Amino acid sequence: MIRFYSDYESLSQAAAELFVAEARSAIEKRDSFTVALSGGHTPGRAYHILADPRHRDQVDWQKVHVFWGDERCVPPDDPKSNERMAWRALLDHVPIPSGQVYPIRCAESPESTARHYETLLHTQFGPRAAAFDLIFLGLGGNGHTASLFPNTAVLDEQVRWVAAVYVREQNLYRVTLTAPAINMARKVAFLVNGVEKAAVLKEVLEGPSNPRHLPAQLIKPSDGELIWLVDNEAGRLLEDSRD
């Protein structure tokens, strides 16, 4: 499903409202809400909106568990840290218990970090399904999402839920949820804004299947829902499939 919005602000508002709605539904049904946050520029405004009392006060934060879809192997106070962005925009401003926030921190090797984070997920969800209630994802200009980058070995992963990735162009290790883990989620929402994403968004959604070149095409929830929240600039090249 693709949902179009007039601009970045309305897209961000919709993302915040989606978070609230999914949190309330999950807590009503299962007495907890598990979410994996995305880094990058696009979700930042949605996190700020969520921290506003009008949205914050609609969520029982005592029953929210926050994870990350991926992280760069940098210190948590580094400007490139996804954790740092989420704390500053959202988590510092809501009454969530600190023990229910699970950042990815590369205190050891990236591979060890990935193994430990996967163990954490197995503890949270059990051994069979990483059934996040909601995962936020972004879309990179090269077709990547989370840290699933083109032509990397992690794209072939079928079993593990978390993996380490070395991104040669950035000279940087990252740790990421794998496509199999993401595809176990109950709901996955891509947030895509800006004219610079128009061409790659069209290629991902309407081009031929080529997930080694466009890893975002790997995201197809097996028993959940996939939603694309797209502003008009990013969606300007798509066929008119607006709902």
d(CA 61, CA 184): 23
Considering its fold, how many domains does the chain have in total? 1
Whether residue 227 is contained in a domain is answered as: no
210 lies in some domain: no
Q: How many CB atoms lie within 10 A of CB 176?
A: 28
pLDDT level of residue 243 (50, 70, 90 thresholds): very low
Does the pLDDT value for residue 74 go beyond 60?
Answer: yes
What's the first-to-final CA gap in the chain, in angstroms?
Answer: 8
Q: How far apart are CA 15 and CA 100, in angstroms?
A: 21
Ranges of beta strands (E only) in the chain are: 2-5, 33-37, 64-68, 70-72, 134-137, 162-167, 172-177, 187-192, 225-231
Per-residue model confidence as pLDDT tens digits over 86-141? 999 999 999 999 999 999 999 889 999 999 999 999 999 998 888 999 999 999 99
User: Helices (DSSP H) in 61-136: which residue ranges?
Assistant: 82-89, 110-125
Is residue 39, in this structure, part of any structural domain at all?
Answer: yes
* Angle formed at CA 191 by CA 190 and CA 196, multiple of 5 degrees: 115
Residue 159 pLDDT greater than 80, yes or no: yes
Evaluate whether residue 34 is within a structural domain: yes
Is pLDDT above 60 for 241?
A: no
Helix, strand, or coil (residue 105): coil
The dihedral region occupied by 74, where left means phi > 0, alpha psi between -120 and 50, and beta the remainder, is: beta
Percent of the chain with pLDDT strictly greater than 70:
98
Residue 152, domain member (yes or no): yes
Q: Which residues contact 78 (CB under 8 A, 6 or more apart)?
A: 72, 84
Is residue 2 assigned to a domain?
A: no
Measure the CA–CA gap between 222 and 93, rounded to whole angstroms: 34
- 69: pLDDT confidence band, cut at 50, 70 and 90? very high
- In this structure, is residue 88 part of a structural domain? yes
Statement: the pTM of the whole predicted model exceeds 0.95 = yes
CATH code at position 129: 3.40.50.1360
Q: Is the predicted pLDDT of residue 239 greater than 90, yes or no?
A: no
Q: What is the pLDDT of residue 242?
A: 52
Coil, helix or strand at residue 80: coil
Whether 222 is covered by a domain: the verdict is no
Mean pLDDT of the chain: 96
Which domain covers residue 29, as residue numbers?
7-191
